[in-house]
Structure 1
């Protein structure tokens, strides 16, 4: 595994898995949210799809990588570029609990985030989760095209690091 794309819906455990895997195999990991929403001296700015692809291609030039994120149109190149695609298919009830816990931790200052953890964002996370489940069949069809390189996990602890 030299180029790993970890994909899943909100609160599936992508970032946690990417960081653990990065340490284990000594490969740098990148949060796709940080590529989309670029931090500058004047604040966070959303890159265009073309700019996002440019950043991804620039990282790819340097060799090995782990990208983690949700399924966006601008990330489609990663399905082709990756030699391994890990789909974190965490149960819906687990994700719903994680979304609420994350919201509470962020508002208590226990967990950092790159966005404003307000009620609107909380609602959006639940909306994205619902939308993913309603459109799951389309996502599953996309994964079938890459079945030879897809690993499906129900939990971010299911990957054997030995």
Structure 2
């Protein structure tokens, strides 16, 4: 009989903290936007990547998707899928911010605010926005690799390799 390693004891708790932290990020971001879908559409439109009609649709769908991802993570339901959706969202957000920066746009990313064009003389802090989103992306990747966590509907606190090792003994 093997003794449980430090990693096998720590990992489910670490995944729980990351899962709940990412859930909070997505729930707050989506919650701030869902009450003002016109503002969300203006924030999307500020990136100048799509026509206004498409920006309105994206601006309406985005907060609902963020809340959906946040709820899945909060409940620990389909955690790996939710982590993949979070990771894909972060890649899209990083690409959008990078594009705005490269094209010299002066906008608020709209991640946790109404977004849109910044007042004249105000500089965007794209570096911070990208670093923050890369950190969130790293957390999502961690959950993709280690989705098993405590207090989740998915159940179980052991990862598959640990369970397989236990079954062989």
TM-score by length of 1: 0.30
Larger radius of gyration: 2
Select the structure that is richer in strand: 1
Q: Which structure exhibits the higher relative contact order, with contacts defined as CA atoms closer than 8 Å and separated by 6 or more residues?
A: 1
